[in-house]
């Protein structure tokens, strides 16, 4: 019997942000003076008074308890690449043996988690455990499960940044200051703040959990270290934007719902190019909030997948032979009164303002391409970059044909007479009618102008977006500062501006490339232009602490020299640790699973050959298979011994850079050789004897 109900489900507009202590909740629950003080803190950076924090903390606690929360946590982004949280309950004992729920302003503003086990890159000794978390009031607190989450920054006892949020907040302040100097030079007296906004598109794979659980490499390394290509991959391009499979569709529906409850503007969902690959894209928001939300998105994705009997893979290259997963960082500059500074505009004055910001970006990307490459550097992302599925390791800018013509005219310094005004201007008269989409998108470009923003396409899917946006904000702020220093001293602003922009483009136009970044011709052309090519993480990371980079970071107090060095140490050590984990996993799988399967089938073949010969038959097919399989098992065994020897040798290397170079030059090639042998064995050994699920099962197993 079917029971019908007229119960109406709440609409998205009714439950959106229901688990967030957002502006609406603040206005409802905070006294006007307290709400105003908090707004000043969020928008102007004014410090919160202790009494104000006490009222806010109490209101947050009451709201969270009504939502079922029993605990709170200072949620932060340590240098592990994921988020961290320590949960404390609201309960406090009373004299009669009962409890009350309380939460103070002091507890809201500051926490003290044990910092000893988080990577610091040598910023502190192992025995120095004290670390502090500080509430970031610019990012909303929220409730998940039974806990109130408070976004925080994380620093050491002596004040060094141990996280990814602190430098991001610093960089946002710096670019605000320098962009405002430029706006004032152009006569803008209304805007009071410039904000970096980001929309981070997120790619990911979904595989069946029962299949995943049988793959040691997926469990330990997040990617398949072995696996022969399936008969079908993405050759037919039939998965891209294809009809969603039922299980995937149900997962995506619930994912959107959970994200909307957390106030995350999940906008787009679709199948990506590779089988089992998908994408989620949110609407842009401020860089700080976007970074928090992207970490939440990845966490919710992984946890919710398990509920649906799936596993969400965020590794940059979980499967060989099909596209890996990236994260597209759409970056723009907007004012607090709604002006997009990367919008070309409809008048000559706004055109020149746009071109000033554009030239600063071009100059910054050219001079600090190494930092942008470093911001996306990881062992996993090395598999993607330049692999005809992601931009190459050479950082360049795509502008499109129309904007390219305007830039060339600007560089030439040719003067043309305006039809609207009796004055001479740089040859950009067409710019007022500059349409938003003047050319086709270039998906091969690392850093592409897309109408009113730049899309940095090189990030790996598991990356935090914080580091890339720290680099972008700081680089552009540094160039804007130089521009402002020069223009503020000029007797004739317009003449000096024209000269500055033309000089900038002549010197830095080499970084502009509108063609196919995947082509070998571009690699050769980029070398001729003097552009740097850092194919691997080990190639680029040592440049983190180059003098020019330290000078820029210290000028704006983004990082101290020791903070830069610490980040380098963490990244270079993580690279080697990950490669070693992968190597040990391969050895384990090869010795305990692949070799026994090969030997077992070889024995079966040899038994069949003997049986045939006993009755006078030829064992031709079996002999050929047994011979090839015997060769491969012997070869695989030798490769296992070689890889074991190299991993043992690696353990004796104490210098972090030399160890990373050894991993790149010795261990990875040995891993690749071992995989070739094992993957060929997979094509010979019957499926019933093969010890773990194949690519076909992994990529096409979710229906």
pLDDT interval class at 130 (50, 70, 90): low
441: pLDDT strictly greater than 70:
no
pLDDT at residue 228, as a whole number: 95
The confidence score (pLDDT) of residue 444 equals 85
Q: Where are the domains of the chain?
A: 12-163, 171-559, 574-700
Distance between CA atoms of residues 497 and 31, nearest Å: 49
Please state, rounded to an integer, the average pLDDT across all residues of the chain.
Answer: 89
Beta carbons within 8 Å of 210's beta carbon, 6+ residues apart: 309
Note every long-range contact of 681-684, with CB atoms under 8 Å and residues 24 or more positions apart, other chains counting: 681/594, 681/597, 681/598, 681/629, 681/632, 681/633, 681/636, 682/226, 682/227, 682/228, 683/228, 684/601, 684/625, 684/628, 684/629, 684/632
Q: Is the pLDDT at 445 greater than 60, yes or no?
A: yes
Query: Tell me: the pLDDT tens digits for 584-627?
Result: 999 999 999 999 999 999 999 999 998 888 888 877 888 999 99
pLDDT for 535 equals: 93
d(CA 304, CA 251): 8
Q: Which two tokens stand for residue 197?
A: 């906004």
Q: What is the pLDDT of residue 84?
A: 84
- The packing angle between helices 561-589 and 620-651, to 10°, is 150
Q: Answer yes or no: is pLDDT of 273 > 70.
A: yes
Count of H-run helices and E-run strands, the chain: 25, 19
CATH topology of domain 574-700: 1.20.120
pTM score of the predicted model = 0.91
Phi, psi of 234 (to 5 degrees): -115, 20
Q: What is the DSSP code string of 425-471? A: EES-TTGGG--S--S---TT-SEEE-SSSEEEEEEETT--SHHHHHH
Q: What's the number of CA atoms in the CB half-sphere (13 Å) around residue 464?
A: 22
Query: Per-residue pLDDT for 4 more than 80?
Result: no
Give the pLDDT confidence of 413-437 residue by residue, as tens digits.
Answer: 664 433 444 333 444 444 444 455 5
Higher pLDDT, 421 or 387: 387
Distance of alpha carbon 153 from alpha carbon 635, whole angstroms: 51
The string of pLDDT tens digits covering residues 532-573 is 999 999 999 999 999 999 999 999 999 999 999 999 999 999
Going from the C-alpha of 61 to that of each of 21, 56, 209, 391, the distances in angstroms are 10, 9, 37, 46
User: In this structure, are residues 393 and 533 in contact, taking their beta carbons and an 8 Å threshold?
Assistant: yes
What HEC string does 24-65 produce?
A: HHHHHHCCHHHHHHHHHHHHHCCCCCHHHHHHHHHHHHHHHH
Q: Given pLDDT bands bounded at 50, 70 and 90, which one contains residue 221?
A: very high
* pLDDT confidence of residue 392: 87
Q: What is the pLDDT of residue 437?
A: 54
Per-residue pLDDT at 3: 52
Instruction: Give me the sign of the Cα torsion angle 114, 116, 117, 120.
Output: positive
- Output 404 or 350, whichever has higher pLDDT: 404
186 has a pLDDT exceeding 60: yes
CA dihedral of residues 288, 294, 299, 300 (deg, nearest 10) = 110
Taking the alpha carbons at both ends of the chain, their separation in whole angstroms is: 29
Nearest CA to 114 out of 102, 97, 126 is that of 126
pLDDT mean over 679-689: 96
The pLDDT score that the predictor gives to residue 99 is 66
What pLDDT, on a 0 to 100 scale, did the predictor assign at position 348?
Answer: 52
Q: Would you say how long the chain is, in residues?
A: 703
The class that CATH gives domain 171-559 is: alpha beta
pLDDT tens-place string over residues 564-574: 999 999 999 99
Farthest CA pair distance, the chain: 104
Predicted confidence (pLDDT) per residue in 300-341, tens digit: 999 999 999 999 999 999 999 999 999 999 999 999 999 999
For the purposes of burial, counting CB atoms within 10 Å of the CB of 116, is it exposed (0-12), middle (13-18) or buried (19 or more)?
A: middle
pLDDT at 421: 40
List CB contacts of 551: < 8 A, sequence separation 6 or more.
none
DSSP 276-307: TEEEEEEPPEEHHHHHHHHHHHHHHHHHHHHH
pLDDT at 224 over 90: yes
- 81-111 burial string, b = 16+ CB within 10 Å, else e? bebbbeeeebeeeeeeeeeeeebebebbbeb
DSSP structure class, residue 3: P
Structure tokens at 207: 């595989």
214/621 Cα distance (integer angstroms): 31
3-state secondary structure of 346: coil
**Closest residue by Cα to residue 501 from 512, 509, 511:** 509
Q: Buried b vs exposed e over 535-570: b needs ≥16 C-beta within 10 Å? A: bbbbbbbbbbbeeebbebbeebebbbeebbbbbbbb
Domain 171-559 identical in fold to domain 574-700 = no
**Helix, coil or strand: residue 383:** coil
Residue in 423, 316, 384, 375 with CA at minimum distance from that of residue 553:
375
Residue 615 CB neighbour total at 10 angstroms = 6
Residue with tokens 């935090």: 464
Output phi, psi for 130, to 5 deg.
Answer: -75, 130
Range of weakest confidence among 90-94, 182-186, 697-701: 90-94
Q: Is the pLDDT of residue 629 over 80?
A: yes
Q: 12-163 architecture in CATH?
A: Roll (3.10)
């Amino acid at each position: 019997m079917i029971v019908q109900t007229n119960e109406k489900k709440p609409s998205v507009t009714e439950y959106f942000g229901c688990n967030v202590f957002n502006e609406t909740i603040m206005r409802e629950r905070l006294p006007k003076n307290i709400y105003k003080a908090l707004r000043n803190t969020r928008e102007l950076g004014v410090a919160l008074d202790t009494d104000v924090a006490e009222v806010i903390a109490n209101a947050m606690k009451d709201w969270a308890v009504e939502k079922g929360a029993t605990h709170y946590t200072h949620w932060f982004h340590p240098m592990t690449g994921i988020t961290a949280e320590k949960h404390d309950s609201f309960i406090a004992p009373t004299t009669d043996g009962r409890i009350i729920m309380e939460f103070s302003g002091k507890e809201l503003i500051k926490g003290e988690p044990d910092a000893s086990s988080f990577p610091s890159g040598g910023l502190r000794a192992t025995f120095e455990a004290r670390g502090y978390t500080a509430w970031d009031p610019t990012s909303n607190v929220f409730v998940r499960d039974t806990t109130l989450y408070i976004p925080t920054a994380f620093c050491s006892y002596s004040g060094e940044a141990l996280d990814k949020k602190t430098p991001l907040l610093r960089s946002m302040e710096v670019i605000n200051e320098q962009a405002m100097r430029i706006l004032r030079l152009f006569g803008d007296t209304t805007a009071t703040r410039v904000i970096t906004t980001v929309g981070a598109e997120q790619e990911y794979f979904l595989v069946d959990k029962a299949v995943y659980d049988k793959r040691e490499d997926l469990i330990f390394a997040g990617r398949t270290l072995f696996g022969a290509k399936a008969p079908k991959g993405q050759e037919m391009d039939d998965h891209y934007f294809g009809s969603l499979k039922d299980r995937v569709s149900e997962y995506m529906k619930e994912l959107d719902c959970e994200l909307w409850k957390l106030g995350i503007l999940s906008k787009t969902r679709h199948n990506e190019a590779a089988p089992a690959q998908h994408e989620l894209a949110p609407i842009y928001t401020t860089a700080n909030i976007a970074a928090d939300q992207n970490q939440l998105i990845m966490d919710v994705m992984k946890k919710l997948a398990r509920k649906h009997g799936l596993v969400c893979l965020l590794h940059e290259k979980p499967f060989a032979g099909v596209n890996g997963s990236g994260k597209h960082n759409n970056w723009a500059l907007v004012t607090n009164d709604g002006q997009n500074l990367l919008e070309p505009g409809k008048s000559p004055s706004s055109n020149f303002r746009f071109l000033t910001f554009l030239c600063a970006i071009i100059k910054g990307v050219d001079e600090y391409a190494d930092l942008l490459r470093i911001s996306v550097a990881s062992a996993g992302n090395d598999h993607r970059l330049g692999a005809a599925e992601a931009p190459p390791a050479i950082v360049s800018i795509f502008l499109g044909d129309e904007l390219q013509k305007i830039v060339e005219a600007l560089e030439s310094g040719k003067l043309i007479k305006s039809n609207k005004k009796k004055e001479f201007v740089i040859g950009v008269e067409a710019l007022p009618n500059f349409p938003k989409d003047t050319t086709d998108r270039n998906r091969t470009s690392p850093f592409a102008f897309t109408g009113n923003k730049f899309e940095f396409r090189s990030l790996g899917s598991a990356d935090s977006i914080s580091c890339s946006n720290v680099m972008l904000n700081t680089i552009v702020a540094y160039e804007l500062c130089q521009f402002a220093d020069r223009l503020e001293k000029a007797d004739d602003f317009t003449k000096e501006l024209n000269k500055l922009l033309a000089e900038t483009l002549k010197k830095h136009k080499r970084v502009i490339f509108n063609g196919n970044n995947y082509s070998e011709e571009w690699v050769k052309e980029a070398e001729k232009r003097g552009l740097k090519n850092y194919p691997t993480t080990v190639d680029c990371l040592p440049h983190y602490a180059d003098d020019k980079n330290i000078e820029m970071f210290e000028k704006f107090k983004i990082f101290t020299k020791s903070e830069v060095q610490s980040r380098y140490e963490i990244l270079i050590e993580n690279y080697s640790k990950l490669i070693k984990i992968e190597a040990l996993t391969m050895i384990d799988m090869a010795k305990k699973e692949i070799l026994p399967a090969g030997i077992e089938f070889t024995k079966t073949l040899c038994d069949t050959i003997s049986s045939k010969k006993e009755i006078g038959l030829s064992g031709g097919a079996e002999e050929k298979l047994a011979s090839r399989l015997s060769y491969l098992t012997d070869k695989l065994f030798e490769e296992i011994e070689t890889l074991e020897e190299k991993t043992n040798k690696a353990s004796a290397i104490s210098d972090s850079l030399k160890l990373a170079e050894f991993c790149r030059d010795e261990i990875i090639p040995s891993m690749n050789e071992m995989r070739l042998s094992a993957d060929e064995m997979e094509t010979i050994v019957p499926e019933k004897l093969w010890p773990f699920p194949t690519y076909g099962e992994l990529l096409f197993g979710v229906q």
